[in-house]
Homo-oligomer: A and B are copies of this chain.
């Protein structure tokens, strides 16, 4: 067995690669351990089952496949899937018809929240798995206008208009009372100085002005700056993820032990684990794939996660992806996630 074997150190020979690929594909399709006979028929290699058994035995030794019990077929291990997606997988580009459908369903007219929800719905509908989208960081959005509305006494409502699809309201508690006209003047001042900047820049600009020219400013300007600082303060909503389509996970037999489903659904409501996972992807380029335990979260042991970041204005502002059983049709899922990320980015971009 071993002597012949271009052992662990060697990259797999062509035959082994083709067989592994056929095996993964068949298992993904059928969901059942695949035996040497089936492989002999489907792999298109014109080999007898016996020879295939030998190769299988090698693959098993390398930890790429395993048999659930003595006399069942073989099943890919996480490592096997890894090798498969890394070097055996041929990704089929989506046909233009599909792309068009996706595009239509991501209507840039919608406000950001609805857009993000559509994206998640889309992912879960197309892939029949659970979709998720990390909502875009807001910092990037350019400030179009800021207004203040006096509510009562020291309470002021700040209205930040980011663009025609997004408006934020923030309620400020002030240290003294301001008159309507004072508020109006301060808004004018801020609009003049900050329009076009994004929130982060605006915050920085405000701080800079405060430091640099404090002495030269009149009290009105100073007050305006202070008010602006409050309005732009970083009320991060860090838990912002949208999940949809968890139902689909009920369909996969390998996840159907009630225990597993429970913890998976708990993960969706808790969000924390998945958030950290998503956040590790946010800096990466392109599609990322976590297979089984690779994600480092126990809950996802039997799942794979496929993610892709999306950009607005050339900057990564969020991630989206799907969660499903390790046994998923990667060659189809990967381009879907990829394209959806690009389309979401484009839709968000088109409105600035």
Binding site for B on A (CB under 8 A): 144-145, 147, 149, 151-152, 155, 157, 159, 161, 164, 167, 169, 171, 244, 246-247, 250-251, 256, 258, 261-262, 265-266, 269
How many whole Å from A170's CB to the nearest CB in chain B? 10
Give the CA-CA distance A216 to B107 in the complex, in Å: 44
Known: A145-B149, A147-B147, A269-B247. A161 touches B157 (CB 8 A): yes
Residues of B within 8 A of A244 (CB): 269
- Which residue of the partner chain B has the closest CB to A244? B269
Residues of B within 8 A of A152 (CB): 164
How many whole Å from A190's CB to the nearest CB in chain B? 14
- Whether B250 and A261, one on each chain, are in contact in the complex, defined by CB atoms closer than 8 angstroms, is yes
Residues of B within 8 A of A164 (CB): 151-152, 155, 171
Residues of B within 8 A of A262 (CB): 247, 250-251
How many whole Å from A132's CB to the nearest CB in chain B? 15
Q: Identify the 4 closest CB pairs spanning chains A and B, nearest first.
A: A247-B265, A167-B169, A250-B262, A151-B164
The oligomer's copy count stands at 2
Name the contact of A159 in the complex, choosing from B149, B155, B265 (C-beta under 8 A). B149
Give the CA-CA distance A149 to B258 in the complex, in Å: 53
Residues of B within 8 A of A145 (CB): 149, 151
Give the CA-CA distance A250 to B265 in the complex, in Å: 10
- Which residue of the partner chain B has the closest CB to A247? B265
Residues of B within 8 A of A169 (CB): 159, 167, 169
Give the CA-CA distance A250 to B157 in the complex, in Å: 43
Residues of B within 8 A of A261 (CB): 250
Q: List 17 A-B contacts (CB under 8 A).
A: A145-B149, A147-B147, A147-B149, A151-B161, A151-B164, A152-B164, A157-B167, A159-B159, A159-B169, A164-B171, A167-B169, A244-B269, A246-B265, A247-B265, A247-B269, A250-B258, A256-B258
How many whole Å from A85's CB to the nearest CB in chain B? 29
How many whole Å from A305's CB to the nearest CB in chain B? 20
Residues of B within 8 A of A155 (CB): 164
Residues of B within 8 A of A256 (CB): 258
